[in-house]
Structure 1
Amino acid sequence: MSSDVGHNGSEARRRGRGRRPADEVRAEVVAAAGQILMEEGMSAFTIERVAARSGASKVTLYKWWPSKGALALDGYTHAVSHDLEFPDTGDVEADLTSQVRAFIGVLNGPAGRAIAELIGQSQTDHELAAAFRERYSAPRRALAVHTLGIAQGRGQIRADVDPEVVVDQLWGAGYHRLLIPDQPLTVEFADALVATIMAGLRPR
């Protein structure tokens, strides 16, 4: 019996005890999507498999997500959200180092393969591209910009620095090494990246 069938059986028994709240169903669908994506990648990711593992109907999934790519993206976001939390210790360099290290660590695991596949698929899947911007990249960018803005208010970063450009420099460098793997994604790279960029950000 496959793991999906096993999960489906347990969910069927749960449904037998009554209708599940929509929020609970959605949370279980997203968790199942993340599990399948991390375990096997986009090549094995289907609406049918997510429905079987979560115990939700395919009709429900198609009602909530415009494409399997959009569902996979929500699964990815759920799977990595804890790892990519942004610390705030009051020391912007330490916080950036911690976050970029975590980001590089995520890219080095199954999530790295998954996000590379999602980025690739988003080039031809317009619904996935829109979901990527709205549900993942834009919120994460906004969080980083907010953190850098706080550091500017504390006088740790020059006031004339554009936080949007810093975001592209820091996290864009990680995506560059993921998608064009000429150089490895390492902790040393994360540390050197932050140290180099901070050297230009500190008040003169």
Structure 2
Amino acid sequence: MTAPQRPARRGRGRRPIAQVRAEVLEAAAAVLMREGVGGFTIEKVIVHSGVSSATVYKHWPSRGALALDGYLHAVGDEIALRDTGDIRADLVRGITAFVRMVGVEPAGPVFAQLIGAAQTDSELASQFDQHYFGPRRRQAFALLEAAKERGQIRSDADLGVIVDIIWGACYIRLLLPHLTGTLTVDFARDVVHQALNGVTLVEKSG
């Protein structure tokens, strides 16, 4: 079996670190989406990107951390939450964007694999908290706090419970579809409406 050939270095001299990072992340995303978490290694990313191993290990101390960064680089900010002034519509928009993202191959299965790997990879779990779950949870809290200030939901509503009901229900279906059912856009919309029905002060829109 012939060993894979390392791509030629992309030019001489020092390149901007942002360019180097982008090349590594593009390579990481390609390897991850092609081979899944089980087949993902830092060495494969190094070979695919042509970036030195010293540079890669300097910025990504673990396989899991690089895999997650590659995944987030690939999906971009499609699932970022945005405040338009309508809390129900904003949450529906955000959660359905998530459902659509994980509803296609290979993005959905790979994301579920990353969550599973984080249970035994402390560095990956930390990266998830810092770069994915933490920021998105804060976005959701900010939306709900703003809705409180506008009088759209009750002032005594427990924001953590609302967030956990909406996202927790979707993650359960993502990770355990054979037990809980298919994760669909209609399901996600229903979860948002059910979570908000007990705390809203205005009539349901849409």
Report the TM-score, using the length of structure 1 for normalisation: 0.88
- The counterpart of 1:184, out of the listed 182, 185, 200, is 182
What per-residue deviation string (whole Å, max 9, x for no partner) do you get for residues 21-59 of structure 1?
A: 112211221222122222331122111121122221112
- The answer on whether the counterparts of 2:162 and 2:196 sit within 8 Å (CA) in structure 1 is no
Is 2:87 the partner of 1:92? yes
The 5 Å alignment of 1:58-69 reads: 58-69=53-64
- The answer on whether the counterparts of 2:79 and 2:97 sit within 8 Å (CA) in structure 1 is yes
Which residue pairs with 2:201 in the alignment? 203
Which residue pairs with 1:71 in the alignment? 66
Q: Cα distance 1:151–1:52, how it changes in 2: closer, same or farther (>3 A)?
A: same
The 5 Å alignment of 1:13-92 reads: 14-16=10-12, 18-92=13-87
TM-superposed CA distance for 1:152, in Å, is 1.2
Q: AA paired with 1:186?
A: T
The 5 Å alignment of 1:36-185 reads: 36-109=31-104, 110-181=106-177, 182=179, 183-185=181-183
Q: AA paired with 1:51?
A: I
TM-superposed CA distance for 1:158, in Å, is 1.2
Runs of 4+ deviating beyond 3 Å:
none
- The count of residues paired between Structure 1 and Structure 2 equals 196
Q: Higher helix proportion, which one?
A: 1
Structural RMSD (CA): 1.8
- The answer on whether the counterparts of 2:25 and 2:73 sit within 8 Å (CA) in structure 1 is yes
What per-residue deviation string (whole Å, max 9, x for no partner) do you get for residues 146-200 of structure 1?
A: 1111111111111111222211111111110011113001111011111111211
In 2, distance between residues paired with 1:35 and 1:136? 20
Secondary structure of the residue aligned to 1:53 is: helix
- The answer on whether the counterparts of 1:5 and 1:53 sit within 8 Å (CA) in structure 2 is no
Secondary structure of the residue aligned to 1:159 is: coil
In 2, distance between residues paired with 1:159 and 1:24? 46
Q: Percent identity?
A: 49
What per-residue deviation string (whole Å, max 9, x for no partner) do you get for residues 74-125 of structure 1?
A: 1112222322122322111111111111111112122221121111111111
In 1, distance between residues paired with 2:194 and 2:114? 30
TM-superposed CA distance for 1:5, in Å, is 5.8
In 1, distance between residues paired with 2:5 and 2:101? 29
Report the TM-score, using the length of structure 2 for normalisation: 0.87
